Structure 1
């Protein structure tokens, strides 16, 4: 896992989450802006999957439990997809809030993945 890329993901997911929560609480239904913000979070997560597959081959293996790391990563990849699907089915302001909560949850999960990959000693 690349440190700067993980911090970029946390920043983008936090910004997308706050944007969606604020727009949802103001009363806006899901729009291209909110769905696009969550799509950006998803694209970064897919790139993280590629990095996590390639990193051990280049000598950057996780120091923590790989099963725990992959469980977080797969869950984080599925979370925006589920929230986006929900937002497309139920187009209300609360769906926008759900998009924001999903993005904020991804931010926390990516930070935890960074901890599992780098901080723990095997």
Structure 2
């Protein structure tokens, strides 16, 4: 896991979550901006997955439980797909709010993955 990538990912997810929540509560339906933010969060998660697979081979192993880390990572990878599916099926303002909640949940999950990787003792 790369620490600067984690910081960027949390910042993008929080900014995207706030944007989606603001637009959703303003009554806007899902659009290219809200779906694009969630897609960007998903791309960053795929980068995190690649980093998490390669890092142990480079000597950067997790200090916490790897099973817990990868469970968080796989769950986080599934959330944006589910949120976008919901937003495309039900095009209401609440779908935009759900996209915001998904982004904020991913920010928390990525922060927790960072704690598992760097801080938590095995």
Give the TM interval when normalised to the shorter protein.
over 0.9
For structure 1, the 5+ residue unaligned runs are none
Provide, for residues 61-109 of structure 1, a one-character-per-residue CA deviation record: whole Å limited to 9, x for no partner.
0000000000000000000000000000000000000000000000000
Provide, for residues 5-50 of structure 1, a one-character-per-residue CA deviation record: whole Å limited to 9, x for no partner.
1010000000000000000000000000000000000000001000
**Structure 1 outlier segments of 4+, above 4 Å:** none
Q: Aligned residue for 2:69? A: 69
- Measure, in 1, the Cα distance between the counterparts of 2:40 and 2:121: 32
For structure 2, the 5+ residue unaligned runs are none
Count of residue correspondences: 122
Taking structure 1 as the reference length, what is the TM-score of the superposition?
0.99
Taking structure 2 as the reference length, what is the TM-score of the superposition?
0.99
- Measure, in 1, the Cα distance between the counterparts of 2:108 and 2:15: 13
Q: Aligned residue for 2:21? A: 21
Q: Aligned residue for 2:42? A: 42
Q: Aligned residue for 2:98? A: 98
